[in-house]
Amino acid sequence: ANHLAENLPLYNKKVLITAGPTYEAIDPVRFIGNHSSGKMGFELAAAAHAAGAQVTLISGPTHLENPNEDIKIIRVQSAVEMYNAATDHFSEVDIAIASAAVSDYRPKISASQKIKKSAETMELQLVKNPDILASLGEFKKHQLLVGFALETENEEENASGKLKRKNLDFIVLNSLNDSGAGFKSETNKVKILFKDEKVKAFPLKSKREVAQDILNEIILLLDE
């Protein structure tokens, strides 16, 4: 009978998902962030849970609610906080999917008091954030590791570079050039690039359907 938990394709699997933007504090009231909604990651979490997995969702700031109380959500603000949460959990999971739009840089100094305006120009010095996904790729043993790429030029070439550099099993390439795809939209048009150089192109779909497609590819790889 298919309703039995042990018959679900991700039964007994632990899945880690990063989602949403990160906020990098400039001072107590200001930050550097981006327009990521977190929707893709939350849809992945819901779909993985529905497939029988034990899901931990590490999310940057978003207004989205937990799709299911059985999903463990760890809410973070900054890339460093997301890095700490992700690396803490990685060794115990079977699958990790990095869908977060992590800020590549953070202010070198986060002022403890609200910065007052003074001169006509001001400079903000930024330092590089840790690459969470690349670190998971270095720590990887048995885990299946999936990343995303958002490119505006040389899409496949850049995405395939990230796939290799970050030691991924596959990367989901999301093109901003395709109408209807992107950060705030409800739909995505993706290509999946695999580490064996195979590429699968998918039509424009809702983020929920894209999440299901991604999980189906993970299930296929686990079955191999």
The angle subtended at Cα 194 by Cα 2 and Cα 173, nearest 5°, is 95
Alpha carbon distance 130, 34 (integer Å): 17
130 labelled ligand-binding? yes
84 near 108, Cβ under 8 Å?
no
34 is catalytic: yes
The residue from 2, 7, 12, 34 that is catalytic is: 34
User: Least CB distance from residue 104 to Ca ion, whole Å?
Assistant: 4
Size of the site for Ca ion (CB under 5 A): 1
Q: In angstroms, rounded to a whole number, what is the distance separating the alpha carbons of residues 14 and 166?
A: 21
- Alpha-carbon gap, residue 36 to 54, rounded angstroms: 24
**Residue 162, marked binder:** yes
Contacts with ligand CTP by CB under 6 A lie at 18, 79, 98, 100, 102, 104, 129, 131-133, 147-150, 162
The one among 27, 81, 94, 104 contacting Ca ion by CB under 5 A: 104
Among candidate residues 137, 124, 142, 128, the one with its CA nearest the CA of residue 171: 137
94 binds Ca ion (CB under 5 A): no
CB of 73 to ligand CTP, least distance (A): 17
Q: Which residues are annotated as a binding site?
A: 104, 114, 130-133, 148, 162, 166
Applying CB under 5 A, which residues contact Ca ion?
A: 104
- For the annotated catalytic residues, the residue numbers are 34
